[in-house]
Structure formats: C-alpha cells, structure tokens
Amino acid sequence: MKEIWTRLTSESPTFFKRIQVIAILIGSVGGGILAAPATLGLMGIPFILPATLSTVATHMAVVGAVAAFVAKTPVVDPNVLNKPTDNTPKQ
C-alpha cells in the first residue's frame, strides 16, 4: 500500500500525463451525458436518455476513471521506489 501511495504522489512521465488528461476528458464526457437528464429535468425539459447511450456513457465514465488512475502510477525516477525505510535496523 505504501508503494502505491509513493507512486501516486511521485512525478509521472509526460506521456502518461497526456494519457491521464485524455482519460479524465473521456470520463467527464461520460459523466456529463449521464447527468443531462437530471439537469434538463430541473429546467423543465423532459428528457429520457436512450438505453444504448446510457450504457456507453457509463462505460466512458468507468474507463476514464480507471485509465486516469493507471496513467498516474508510472514514475519518472524508479529509485524513488527503492528508498530505504525508517524501520531498518542500524548497525
């Protein structure tokens, strides 16, 4: 668990930063499509989302979230993961 936290807080390579931005964009579009019926309903416009579009939007939101998380885990400096812990016995 500590290694995952270290990876998430470390610097990511530029390629994976771009992948992360694209994944967040995909997830945001999916979430926006899913939120459209509720938003339009508040404005007094009755709108029902077709089942196929709802399924695609749900998949977009999930894929975007997972891809953004996975794109955040690569690190620029692999030595950041091999730092000695504070629990090592001193001689």
CA distances 91 to 21, 67, 84, 88, Å, are: 47, 44, 14, 9
User: For residue 4, what are the contacts with CB-CB under 8 A and spacing of at least 6?
Assistant: 73
Grade residue 87 by pLDDT with cuts at 50, 70 and 90.
low
Is the per-residue pLDDT at 91 higher than 90? no
Residue (of 61, 78, 77) closest to 69 by Cα position: 61
Nearest 10 degrees: CA dihedral of 31, 4, 18, 77?
170
Q: What mean pLDDT is predicted for residues 19-38?
A: 95
pTM greater than 0.85: no
Is the per-residue pLDDT at 45 higher than 80? yes
Grade residue 24 by pLDDT with cuts at 50, 70 and 90.
very high
